[in-house]
Amino acid sequence: MKPTRQWLEVKNLTADERTLLTNITFGGAWQIQKSKTKKQENLRVRAQVIHQLITGRGSFYNAEENGWTSPRLVAIRNAEIIGILDLESVRLHCPLLIEDCTFSSGISLRESQSRTIRIHRCSLEYVNANQLQAHGDFELHNVAIRDSLLLHEATISGNVSIEGEFEKSTHSSSIDCTRMEVNGDAQIIPKSSEQVKLTGANIRGALSVYGGYRGPEAFEAPNLEVGLDALFGYGLESRNEIKDLTIRGRLSLTGAHIHGDLDMAGKFYAEDFPGYSAIFAENIRVDGDFLGSCQTQGRLRLTGARVGSNVILSGSYDASPREDFAIWADRIRVDQNFSAGLDSERKVVTFDTEGRASLLGCWIGGDMRLSGQLTSGDDSESVALDVRNSQIEQDMELYFSADGDVMMNGVQIVGNLVLRGECGDITAERLRVGHTFFCRPKKLDHLNLAFSELRVWVIRNPEAETLRASQTVLRGCTYEAMPYLSEAGVEEWIKWLDKDPAPGFSTQPFSQLAGVYRAYGHDPEARTVLISGEVRRRKQQSWLHRAWGRVLWVTAGYGYRPLLMVAWLALIVLIGTSVTAALPRSDFIINGRIASPFNPFLYTIGSVLPIVDLGESKIVPHGAAQWVSAILVTLGWVLATAVIAAVTNILRRGD
């Protein structure tokens, strides 16, 4: 229970305090300040005297006899106020202005109702305005508060402006605006502050945050709601004012809802607090643009964020020591474009990261454009960019330079994919590109490309730059067109397929490339690709299969060269006819007599082609003719078997 107040009487007043009574005009504007005729630095007055004057309470004058009414304004200037100015639960019917004053203690406005409150250029212990209801503005300008400013659950009908220096607080926060409601704008500009809380605050206008903040939880604003724009420092777009923002600790906006743009700039350092993100905005919702032009030492965490317009990032984002992530934006959803290193007009701006940039499972309703310098930093896996399982509804353009790897597994791109830049290895298994894949990275001599199970409509590859990659995984990759196919010879493209480091062999990449060659009317090149694939497939088999494969290659080109079979048949028939013609006629017997007449050519054809009977089947060879006939029959069966096997393989594979 609050103790009963002891009211002051006239006899208890000091000379300065007695002067106040004679200068007060009831119902007018009260000027509580030093007399212009007196040469003194400050008016010394006890806080209780001001309380009794403002409220009409107490016994040093009779309110009814003096005709006391509420003043139109209370202005306190150049005063030294002794004690606590306790206005708790008081209803102030007029604005309160306090300027250039020194308080030995603080001001309590807890549960008060007031008009506008302005405290300018004052030094005081604290301001307790918890549950204050102000039907006007609340301003603290150039104040020095030694302990804390409390606006817990306060309701301000106008604007809120907080500017000054806030020393270390005995409370958890130097500035506590938890669940504060502001109908107008809010501006927070401390020169230095230990910790600020806007947890659950509701600002229906705009929010501007500048100044300096420090502590592990330097600026805590989870579940904050801002009706218009939220400006943290100066940003990418032109502003009328440019003010610095430095936060040494964590800025928390988790679960916040910004109905306008969120413009973040300045310096955010969390390296002194291991495990803390520099900017922690998990599940934040921004209805407008998210504009980030920051210098961070610690994670920028946007996991689960929802942005109704564009995301535009510039600046420098570094992970804390021994941390992997510089930007952690998994599952972010952006309704329009996501740009980093490029402004809204596609002009190049500074963007670099020191640590992994992770956008796992993100959804971008427009384009994704990334430029700048990406460094994997202390990432144990040396990954500079990770966009696995993301969906891009339009184009994805990658122009950055990175010293780490790029992970694109499972990415779905409705439009084009443009890959131009410099990076480590690129892994893009199950990548889906709805239209065209422009692939022309820089410095590919030591680059490994993994495009396993890629689905794309068109691959455009000027000057066949990707052929210089160290490794290229293309298993399962499908594409319908490759306009720059003729920029390199078929052997160069085959060498590109040979750069697959995966164990085993897959015929699919060769069949895919051959299909594109056929689509462009290059059937000889298509056959060359298919034969090369068959040669490489046979090398993976046992020695017996390899030997039989060699026979198929020599006799019929694995079935892809039918004219080779005809050539072998003609050669065998020519040699067989010549040898048979040179043998004695006595070696060819029919019905116990020497065959006459005898045609060596027809005899050779009948021997080589067992299914063909030209009337020579009744001839029985003797002596050397038996060996020649056996050789011809064997060669015929080998040639027929090889042709049938090769054609069967082709039909089974659909080549």
Lowest mean pLDDT, pick from 147-151, 296-300, 348-352: 348-352
Q: Which residue has the tokens 């034969």?
A: 531
Single-letter amino acid code for the residue at 412 = Q
| Cβ-count burial 414-451 (b if 16+ within 10 Å, e if not) | ebbbbbebbbbbbbbbbbbbbebbbbbbeebeebbbbb
Rounded Cα–Cα distance for residues 198 and 175 (Å): 9
Q: In 348-416, which ranges are E strands?
A: 351-354, 356-358, 363-364, 368-370, 373-375, 383-386, 391-392, 396-398, 401-402, 405-407, 412-413
Which tokens is 485 given? Answer: 């196919």
Closest CA to 541 of 549, 531, 530: 549
Q: Is 481 exposed, middle or buried (0-12, 13-18, 19+ CB in 10 A)?
A: middle
pLDDT in tens, 261-302: 999 988 999 888 888 899 999 999 999 999 988 899 999 999
Q: 3-state class of 230 per DSSP?
A: strand
Residues near 557 by Cβ (< 8 Å), separated by ≥ 6? 527, 531, 564, 646
Q: How far is CA 495 from the centre of its chain?
A: 35
What pLDDT was estimated at residue 543? 63
Which range of 115-119, 448-452, 531-535 scores highest in mean pLDDT? It is: 115-119
Check: pTM over 0.85? Answer yes or no. Answer: no
Mean pLDDT (the chain, rounded) = 79
Phi, psi of 408, rounded to the nearest 5 degrees: -130, 25
Neighbours of 62 (CB within 10 A): 9
Closest CA relative to residue 78, chosen from 38, 112, 23 = 38
Distance CA 447, CA 469 (A): 5
Separation in Å, CA 255 to CA 155, 249, 267, 311: 22, 19, 22, 18
In total, the chain counts a number of residues equal to 655
pLDDT: which is higher, 497 or 101: 101
Region 131-147 average pLDDT? 93
* Chain position carrying tokens 């006939």: 629
